[in-house]
Amino acid sequence: MGGEATELTRLSAAEIGIAVAAGDVSAVEVTQAHLDRIVAVEPELHAFLHVAGIGALAAAEAVDRRRAAGERLGPLAGVPLALKDVLTTEDMPTTCGSKILAGWRPPYDATVTRRLRDAGVIILGKTNMDEFAMGSSTENSAFGTSRNPWDRSRVPGGSSGGSSAAVAGYEAPLGIGTDTGGSIRQPAAVCGIVGMKPTYGGSSRYGLVAFASSLDTPGPLARTVLDAALLHEAFSGHDPRDATSVNAPVPPVVAAARQADVAGLRIGVVSELSGEGFQSGVQSKFTEAVELLESLGAKVTEVSCPHFRYALPAYYLIAPSEASSNLARFDAMRYGLRVGDDGTRSADEVMSLTRAAGFGPEVKRRIMLGTYALSSGYYDAYYGKAQQVRTLICRDFDAAFDQVDVLVSPTTPTTAFPIGERVDDPMAMYLADLCTIPSDLAMNAAISVPCGLAPEDGLPVGLQVMAPALADDRTYRVAAALEAALEQRWGGPLLAQAPALGESKGR
C-alpha cells in the first residue's frame, strides 16, 4: 500500500484536539494530511463512497478561525472523522450502500451529523457499508467491497466495514458506525480497533436511515478507548426528535476511559459465547486477556446465559421483520431510483421494477423473510416467538448482572475471513455476529477492544465487554484498563504491529 501514514495521521484524536487547541498545528494541516492519505490508499482499501475534500477543508478553516479569535475549542475540534453512509448529510449524498439511493442528497442532517459539526469535528466523507446495514463483511455494498488494512484479501467486517477500514488504515482517527446486530463491534474486532455500541436510545436515530428500528444504534469507532469515549460523549444525549431517545444524562464515559482500573470489579465470562466453534487463536487470546484482567485485580467468574444460544435465530426474525416494514418506503414514487417509468406502466409495475433493480440479494432475502414472519397465520409462530426469546435473553442479562458488574466474551468467533468465502453461505455469514447480537436484543451497552493477534493467521482479535443499559462507562473502564496493560506488554498499540498496513500482504 503506497502513501505511508504521516506523523499527523498517526496521532490519536485526543492528541490532535490538544494540538489544534494549542495552535501547535492547524485544523487545515491535519485535514489535508488525512485527505492526502485517502488519495494514496483508497484505490486499495475502498473505505469511502464519497470524499468531501472541499467541505472538509472549509470546516477546518472555520475551526482555525475560531481558535484565532480566542474561542475555547472542544476536545475534538479539528479532528477528522469518517461517517457511515447511513446517516443523513445535507451537503453530501447518502446512499446506504444501495443502488436504490444512488446519488440521493438528503435535505437535512442527522442529529449525530449535526452534533459532530457543532463539536468542530471535520467530516471527511461518507464510508462504504453493507447495503442498508445488512451484512457482516461489506460485500453486500452495491458499490464494491471494502478491504481490511491488515490483509487486503480479507473483509473489514460489516456492516460498518468502510468506517473500520478507514480508521485502521489511518485515513481518519475517528469513525461513526451503526450497530444493529454487531455492525460496530465486529468490524472493530477484525480491524484491530475499538468499537462501541452505546445503550439503545443513548445516541439519536433521527436521520439514521432505518434497518431495524428497535435495534439500530449509532456509535464510535476509534484507535484508542479514550478517543472512542470522547466521540461517544460528543454526539450522545437526549434528542426530542427521536421518540426512542433516552432522556437521561450521558454516562461518564470519558472519566471511565481515563480511570482504566478494574480492581475489585466483578467480571463474568459468558460460557455460551466461547469454546466449540471458535477459532483456536481467538479463544487463546481472549483467555489470555481475561487472565490479565484478573491479574489487575478483577474478580473473574464464569456465568451462564442459557438463552443466548437462541439469540441468532431470534434476531433473524425480528430484524428482517422490522426491515420489511422500514424498507417499504423505497417505492420509486418520492425519491431515489425509478425504473420503467415510460408512461405505459402503472405505479405498481414501476415500484416492482425499481425494487427488483435497486435492492441487492441480501436485502431482498431479509425483506422476504420479514414479510413472511409478519404475515397472517405466521406472526405468532415466528415474530411473536422471537420476541418472547428476546425477553428471555433480557432476563439472562438481568440475572447475570445481579452477580457481576460486566460480562465478557470474544467479539467474533473468528478473525477476518477471506473476501468471497461466505458470500454464498448466508448462515456462515450470520455466525460472524454470534457474540454481538445478544446485547443488541437486550438494548444494553457493549464495546470491543483489541486483545491480540491470532497466532495462526496474525490477524486481530477483539474482546467484548457488555454492561447494563446506561452503564456504558463500565465498558470503557474495563476496555481502557485492558488496553493500557496490553500496550505495555506489546510496547505500543496493536496497529503498530500491522504489516505496514498491508504493504506485504494482500498484494
Q: Is pLDDT at 77 greater than 80 in this prediction?
A: yes
Residue 362 belongs to some domain of the structure: no
Rounded distance between C-alpha atoms, residue 178 and residue 284, angstroms: 29
Region of residue 369 (phi > 0: left; psi between -120 and 50: alpha; otherwise: beta): alpha
Instruction: Specify the pLDDT at position 506.
Output: 40
Q: Is residue 379 part of a domain?
A: no
Question: What's residue 334's pLDDT?
Answer: 86
Identify the pLDDT of residue 500: 66
75 lies in some domain: yes
Q: What is the DSSP letter of 261?
A: -
Residue 328 counted as domain residue: no
- Tell me what pLDDT residue 499 has: 77
Q: Once rounded to an integer, what is the mean pLDDT over residues 347-353?
A: 95
Q: What is the mean pLDDT of residues 468-472?
A: 98
Residue 501: band (very low, low, confident or very high) from pLDDT cuts 50, 70, 90:
low
Mean pLDDT of 137-149: 98
Domain contains 457? yes
Residue whose C-alpha is closest to residue 335's, from 441, 209, 229, 233: 209
- H or E stretch covering 196: strand 194-197
Q: How far apart are CA 475 and CA 123, in angstroms?
A: 27
CATH classification of the domain holding 395: 3.90.1300.10
5 pLDDT higher than 90: no
pLDDT tens per residue, range 195-224: 999 999 999 999 999 999 999 999 999 999
Residue 159 annotated among the catalytic residues of the structure: yes
Out of 26, 141, 183, 204, pick the active-site residue.
Answer: 183
Q: Say which amino acid occupies 153.
A: S
pLDDT of residue 2: 40
Distance CA 26, CA 78 (A): 8
**In angstroms, rounded to a whole number, what is the distance separating the alpha carbons of residues 342 and 179?**
40
Conformational region of residue 297, where left means phi above 0, alpha means psi within -120 to 50, and beta covers everything else: left
Structural domain boundaries enclosing 289: 9-307+391-502
Evaluate whether residue 2 is within a structural domain. Answer: no
Q: Which of 304, 376, 326 has the alpha carbon at shortest distance from 205?
A: 326
Mean pLDDT along residues 167-191? 98
Instruction: Provide mean pLDDT across the span 447-458.
Output: 98
Kindly state whether residue 235 falls inside one of the protein's structural domains: yes
pLDDT at 6: 85
Mean predicted confidence (pLDDT) in 378-404 = 97
Active-site residue, from 12, 26, 84, 439: 84
Q: Cβ of 118: how many Cβ atoms within 10 Å?
A: 11
Residue with cell 469454546: 275
C-alpha cell at 79: 479532528
To the query of whether residue 84 is one of the catalytic residues in this protein, the response is yes
Listing from the earlier edge strand, what are the strands of the sheet with 299-303?
48-51, 122-127, 80-84, 174-179, 217-222, 194-197, 445-453, 460-467, 406-410, 266-270, 299-303
pLDDT score recorded for residue 507: 31
Query: How many angstroms separate the CA atoms of 8 and 29, rounded?
Result: 9
Indicate whether 502 pLDDT > 50.
no
Arithmetic mean of pLDDT, 337-342: 93
Average pLDDT over residues 31-51: 97
Share of the chain above pLDDT 70, in %: 98
Quick one: pLDDT at residue 99? 98
Cα separation, 332 vs 347, whole angstroms: 9
Mean pLDDT of the chain: 96
Q: Which residues are paired to 463 by β-bridges? A: 410, 449
Please give the residue that has the higher pLDDT: either 507 or 293.
293
The pLDDT confidence band at residue 505, using thresholds 50, 70 and 90, is very low
pLDDT band at 242 (very low <50, low <70, confident <90, very high): very high
264 Rama sector, left if φ>0, alpha if ψ -120 to 50, beta otherwise: left
Tell me, yes or no, whether 345 lies in a domain: no
pLDDT of 504 higher than 70: no
183 among known catalytic residues? yes
Q: What does the pLDDT read at residue 503?
A: 45
Angle at which helix 111-118 crosses helix 225-235, to 10 degrees, equals: 110
What is the grid cell recorded at 72? 475555547
Q: Number of helices and strands (H, E) in the chain? A: 17, 11
Catalytic-labelled residue, pool 159, 236, 324, 439: 159
How many domains does one find in the chain?
1
